[in-house]
Chains A and B, each alone.
Chain A
Amino acid sequence: MSESMVQIRNVTKVYERGKQKIEVLHGLTFDIPKGDFVALMGPSGSGKTTLLNLIGGLDQPSSGEISVGGNRIDRLKSGELAKWRANNVGFVFQFYNLMPVLTAEGNVELPLLLTKLSAAQRRKNVAVALNVVGLSDRAKHKPKELSGGQEQRVAIARALVSDPQILVCDEPTGDLDRKTADEILGLLQVLNREHGKTIVMVTHDPKAAEFARRTLHLEKGTLVEQAA
C-alpha cells in the first residue's frame, strides 16, 4: 500500500482516577496507511475510544510516539494541537454534537471560521460539503428539524469542510436505525474510495465493521489480531 498516514510507536496511556493509576493502553505499535478505512473494535473498557482520541489529537499519550500525516503530534502543545486539528482532522461523533442554535449551513461553516477565507469563499466550501453528503436542500434547517441520519450527515459535512486528510469517527452509527446506519456507512465508503480520505472508525457493531477495509481488535489495551 501507500505510505503511512498514522504511525503508532510503543504508545501507552495511563489515567489517574483519584489516587489510582489505570493503564488503559499498553505499548501499542502499528501503522495505518494512507487511504485506509480501519474499524477499531473491542469490548467495553478495551481502550478503543482512548486510542481514537490519541489519533485525533484530542489527548496526549503518556509515553510513546504518534505521527499523523508526517507530524509528531505527541510533541505538540495544547495550542498547537488545536491548530493541527483544525487543518488535519475531521471528527464524527455518535451523538452528532451539532450546535442546536445554528442551521446545518452554520454548523458546517464553523471550522472555516478558523481560517482566513472570506465569507463568500466560506459559503462556497459549505455548499460543496453539503452537496457531497447529499443535504443541500436542508441547508437552512436547524438540527431539531432534522432526522438522526440527516444530523449525522451534517456532522460529516462539517468534518469534511476543511478538507482534512483523516476522518476520525467514534461509533458514528451507534444512535441510528439499521437502514440509516447503512446509508451513513455507505457515505463513508464513498469518501474513502472516491475522495481518498483515510478513515479510522470505532464501532462495536460487526455489520458496521464490514464497510471498512480492515478491522483492528483491541482487548484490555492491546491489539489482539489484525484481520484484513
Chain B
Amino acid sequence: MTKTGFVIANLFRKKTRTSLTLLSVIMAFLLFGLLQSVNHIFDAGPNFLGATRLMTQARVSFTSPLPISMVPKLEAVPGVTRVAWSQWFGGIWQENQQLFAFAVDPKRHHDVYPEWVMPEDQWQAFAGTRTAMIAGKLVADKYGWKVGQKIPISSNIFPQKNGSKAWAFDLVGIFDGRDEDWKKRALNVYINYDYFNEENQFGKDRTNFFILKLADSKQAQQIAQQVDAMFENSPDETKTQTEKDFNLSFVKQIGDIGLIVRWILFAVFFTLLLVVGNTMAQSVRERIPELAVLKTLGFSDASVLGFVLAEAAAMCAIGGLIGLGIATLFGALIEKGSGGQFQLNVGGYVWAIGLATIVFMSIAVGLLPALRARRLKIVDALAGR
C-alpha cells in the first residue's frame, strides 16, 4: 500500500455514493468536452488555412456576385501570383441532399489550392471536359460516386437556359486532402465555370469569390487593403480578407454561440460543484475519528489536509478524464456519421481547458473539507465532540 493507495481506498469507501458522484462528474465533463469543441470550431480554422491566400468578395455580402472582368486588375496587383474564382452552385443530389458545389476555373483552382490532391490526368480531364466535375473523397464515398459516372444534380437557384432545373456532370476525378485537416474538408464538388456560365439562365460572367494566391504571406494585410482601395466607390466594392477571417466572420453571424455555451457550462459546473462538494463534505464528516487517528499515528495536520484534497482530486480526475474521453469518442463518431460535415474534434485545446477545470474543481470541492480535517483537534475528535 502507498499513500496513493490509501487515498483511493478511501474514495471507494461507500461504493454507491462514490459511483453515483463519479457518474455525475463524468456527465458534466462529457457535456463540457462536446460543447467546448463546438465552441472551438468557431475559433478554429487558423491552423490549417494558409495566410498565403486571400478571399475577395463583394463588400456587402458574399451572396452578391462580382464581375469576372475584375480579374486582370486583380492579377496586376504586385504580390499576387495567381487569381482563381469560385461561384456558389449549390445543387441537390437525389431529392434533398444538399451539395457544396462551386463553379471554378479548373487550372486556376488547381494552382491556388495545392492542398487538393488528385492524379494529374484527372486534373487534365477536368480542364479539358466542358461538362466535367470533380468531387471530394468524403462526399464521393458518401454517395457512392465512381469516376466515369454521369452525376445528375438539380439546382434551385440556377436553372438552365431551357428552364430545366436538372443538370448532369461527368465525374472525371475524385480529390483528397493533403493532410489530416484537409482530408476532413474534402466535401466539396467543383464544376467547370465556363460550362456553367454558358448554360445557366441568370447572371453572366459573375462570381461570388476571387481567391488570390500571394507570393509572401507577410504582405497579406497590405495587399488586402490595396485591393479594396482599388474598388472603393465603384459599383462593385470589395472586401478582401484572409480565408481564416472569412470563416470567422461568417460563422460569427450565427450568433453568440460562445455566450450560450458558456452559460450552459456555468450552470452545469455550478451544480456539479454542489453535488461533489456535498459528497466530499459528507465523507469527511463521517471520518473525523479516523482522521484523528491518522494524526495520533503521527501524520501532520498538513498531510491530513493533503489526503482529503487528494481524494477530491482523484474523484474529479477520474470522472473528468473518463468524461472527456467519452466526449472525444462521441465527437469522432459524430464526425464519421455525418460524413465529415460536423467536425466535432475534441482536441488538444479542449483537453487542456478540461484538465485545468479538473484542477479547479478539485480545489473548489476539496478545500473546505480539507481545511476542516486539518483543523480538527485529536482529543476532541476522539471523544466524539
Q: Do A and B come from one complex?
A: yes
Q: Which A positions have Cβ atoms within 8 angstroms of B?
A: 49, 53, 56, 58-59, 78-79, 82-87, 91, 93, 97, 99-102, 105-106, 109-111, 113-114, 119, 158, 162
| Distance (whole angstroms) from the CB of A165 to the closest CB of chain B | 14
Residues of B in contact with A, size category: 20 to 34
Query: Looking at the complex, which one of B9, B293, B300 makes contact with A83 (CB distance below 8 Å)?
Result: B300
Contacts A58-B296, A82-B295, A111-B297: A106 and B1 contacting too (C-beta < 8 A)? yes
> Residue B73 at the A interface, CB < 8 A?
no
Contacts A97-B289, A106-B1, A113-B2: A82 and B9 contacting too (C-beta < 8 A)? no
Contact A85 B9 (CB under 8 A): no
B294: chain A residues at CB < 8 Å are 110
Ordered by A's residue number, 9 sampled pairs between the chains whose C-beta atoms are within 8 Å are: A49-B383, A59-B379, A82-B295, A82-B301, A86-B299, A99-B293, A110-B6, A110-B297, A113-B1
| Distance (whole angstroms) from the CB of A92 to the closest CB of chain B | 10
Query: Looking at the complex, which one of A79, A85, A100, A162 makes contact with B301 (CB distance below 8 Å)?
Result: A79
Binding site secondary structure of chain B: helix
Assembled-state Cα–Cα distance A79/B304 (Å): 12
Contact B379 A53 (CB under 8 A): yes
Q: Which of A49, A93, A113 has the most CB of B within 10 A?
A: A113
A56: chain B residues at CB < 8 Å are 296
| Distance (whole angstroms) from the CB of A108 to the closest CB of chain B | 10
**What's the count of A-B pairs with C-beta under 8 Å?**
73
> Residue B181 at the A interface, CB < 8 A?
no
Kindly identify, within residues 1 to 37 of chain B, every residue whose CB is under 8 Å from any CB belonging to chain A: 1-3, 5-6, 9-10, 12-13
Interface code B267-297, partner A: CB below 8 Å = 1, 0 otherwise? 0000000000000000000000110011111
Contact A119 B298 (CB under 8 A): no
Residue of A nearest to B383 (CB): A49
B299: chain A residues at CB < 8 Å are 82, 86, 114
In the A-B complex, list the 7 residue pairs whose CB atoms are closest, starting with the nearest.
Answer: A86-B298, A101-B9, A85-B298, A82-B300, A97-B293, A106-B1, A58-B378
A84: chain B residues at CB < 8 Å are 298
| Distance (whole angstroms) from the CB of A16 to the closest CB of chain B | 12
B356: chain A residues at CB < 8 Å are none
Contacts A59-B378, A82-B295, A85-B296: A101 and B2 contacting too (C-beta < 8 A)? no
| Distance (whole angstroms) from the CB of A173 to the closest CB of chain B | 17
A59: chain B residues at CB < 8 Å are 378-379
